[in-house]
Structure 1
């Protein structure tokens, strides 16, 4: 049981990378570059999908939503992290911290569910191509995306409410560059055992549910691809889901690596750097992965550039 006879805190100090003074300049430049490229890449992807009628398909509808989520996800974290490098005061109010955590949780959950929905889309396209148009209707796609955001909002409110129902007192320092649930729980002067169970149960349920859905979709997809007799046919089928598969491996692989680490001071330090991968690096490379591996997106880019050049 933690000591409750301590002064309640009204704000938290996000230490960020203040313990690494020699890396401050390098990290600032890296964060700024990743954020700029994230905005340019994902806004560009949304623009291509909006402008080119050829990209008005379920696959690109989901990809456009993924790009919007990546923009919001990175924007909830990176500007504040950048400010911490140049501001002497690194504090954030508890309300501000709760708001940031709520927003981050929505985007992280939405990205996970969207990757699952996109896997289902590829499953229908490859395993049931004749039914694709009748199954993946505009109404059905919008319903799935709407459900993703509703579930993500509910998940976020539960997780944020669960953490901020605790009392916080004593030390107000968080060894991270944003309001992450695990460091926040360590600031609590209440008994957080039940809250930790709720946090881990909901977080692992969302991750495992989506990982299982994606895994099952890819088992069916790979099975269908292996039944295709021609090498050209197999190559074409594989190319339709290769970009998504790379994104899935990056996203879930990073989460597994981070949460597989034992809870210790050393692992918390490592988690700061691992967090950079899925909060900044992955949102930056997603549009690159989908652009380089996707003929339709490359054609849309060429068409747009030719139009601008000839105008």
Structure 2
């Protein structure tokens, strides 16, 4: 086929891949930022150009035809080759430029990452930086994120993982609360205290502790439930009760004696702790802005550059 006839439909091919990967016209439209009708027209134009039906569509379902499956795989390979071409151009060690999309949890972004990111932006003004702040676990490839920063003990398989730091959970209360109600000596004592929980799911009221071989599970309750770390921190500092935080949320308050760490000999189990990892897609050509940003984070937080975490 004449290349000149093919060129006008490269956009439609990319749209077609996005529709199949996201599973619907509306999802593709939302992802790209256009109307669902324009997505539908793009796929129809591609089908007209190829003179083949690619998708069987009903009001509720969508599935690939046998021809559509083959075309999808080839179009997807075309897009991957295009991405590799861009990555190859951006992998020049002397050129730190281009776009960089980073996703990270809310509290970690505000209290830990933002000073570093602002420094990075000033040092590399030719990088267009987009930060996606979310506590929802995302797919870096499907959601088109260059670097995912998250707290975990289980890196996402198939992605490069670089250690940025680590985080532990701290049980604490304000000094005023401790003076008024006393310190719990054992995890079981928490059943008699006002404990402030996340409230994201029922098990948030089940606090688990370990100390060497000892394991204790406590069902706690309290007068205030909120899934926002800064609001919960304010409540704790106000003397409302006891709660659990990632260390970066509360350490400064402990250092200034506004808050007191409780049961320091016990390890608190739960989410929002573990290694702080930066993960990104494996490729023959890693864009230079990704490599430089990850190295910048490791240097900023004084983390040695280890081999990839498997």
Of Structure 1 and Structure 2, which has the larger fraction of its residues in strand? 2
In terms of fraction of residues, the more helix-rich structure is 1
TM range (shorter): under 0.3
Q: Which has the larger radius of gyration?
A: 2
Relative contact order higher in (CA < 8 Å, ≥ 6 apart): 1
Compute the TM-score of the two structures, normalised by the length of structure 2: 0.22
